[in-house]
Chains A and B, each alone.
Chain A
């Protein structure tokens, strides 16, 4: 209790930082320079309807690359951690048999999973047009996987397939980036393809392609992570 009140005191002191930050915050009445630039030039330069997307994929593409890398890392780490614990569990640990899912869940999932996948793909393909994108789409795809897993707990996640998808999409992402250097202004430049007509699905240069790869990759990775966690859980 003493310890907690001490922590509380520290946190209150810590909040002082926030209070001063808050006091200095006055809200915005207009865009910042950066925002203004993107708002004014984003359409011409990138050609994506969704400005956030153009920032995420092109202007700050390298951040996104980092993001993808983080997911990849997480998946990889969890992957080999899983492998390690599998090695441990080989000697003597018994895998508990899970209860089967109900019929409704099974049937429902069979119906829903393709739809969910479709939806996810829609989201990332339209990332430059709508408030969506690779990450969101990937996440949606992963939910499909979760649903599959809940519906059919015994079935093993096919890590091999996921890893392949992941690798190929990641690799393609990098290749596109390099193409940006070769064919256009710089790494991850989307001008390797024509910008196309503003507002169409095949517009904004390479953004749809990149976003698709990101979507696939994120989907595969998240699915892999969830799957791995599930397996680790099962073994514990």
Chain B
């Protein structure tokens, strides 16, 4: 059952969150709930991104003593999506803030 491994579970979670978020955006009459839907949607996206970055059995891309600086490529997960997530989070924040402002 390969689908029970970490990356699959997290990416499914991500997808589910996205759908739930959209559901919230589309159906909720309460604006606050809509905004919450938005954040869920964003969160789902971020989870997906992180899942994409995951490389089986690897660790965070911080070259501390535990990782060392040699053969780094075999030890860490992909840092790029993580950097993107960082940006995306802030952007999501901006968007959400604006959405909520517009009420």
Residues of A within 8 A of B (CB): 4, 7-8, 11, 14-15, 18, 21-22, 25, 27-32, 34-36, 38-40, 42-43, 49-52, 55-56, 59-60, 63-64, 66-67, 70-71, 73-74, 77-78, 81, 129-131, 133, 135, 198, 218, 225, 229
Contacts and interface: CB of A to CB of B under 8 A. Distances in A.
A124 to B, nearest CB: 13
* B contacts with A: majority SS: helix
Interface residues of B, number: 45
7 contacts: A4-B27, A28-B55, A50-B62, A50-B63, A67-B90, A67-B91, A73-B94
Given A25-B11, A52-B61, A52-B82, A225 B97 contact: yes
Nearest to A64: B87
Contacts of A129: 64
B94 A70 contact: yes
Contact of A28 (B18, B54, B89, B91): B54
A70 B91 contact: yes
A66 B86 CA distance: 12
Interface in B19-66: 19, 22-23, 26-27, 52-56, 60-64
B54 A49 contact: no
A74 B98 contact: yes
Contacts of A52: 61-62, 79, 82-83, 86
A11 B21 CA distance: 11
B59 to A, nearest CB: 11
Nearest to A19: B15
Given A27-B54, A29-B56, A77-B98, A71 B22 contact: no
Most chain A CB inside 10 Å of its own CB: which residue of B87, B89, B90, B91: B90
A175 B100 CA distance: 33
Contact of B61 (A34, A51, A71, A198): A51
Contacts of B22: 11, 14
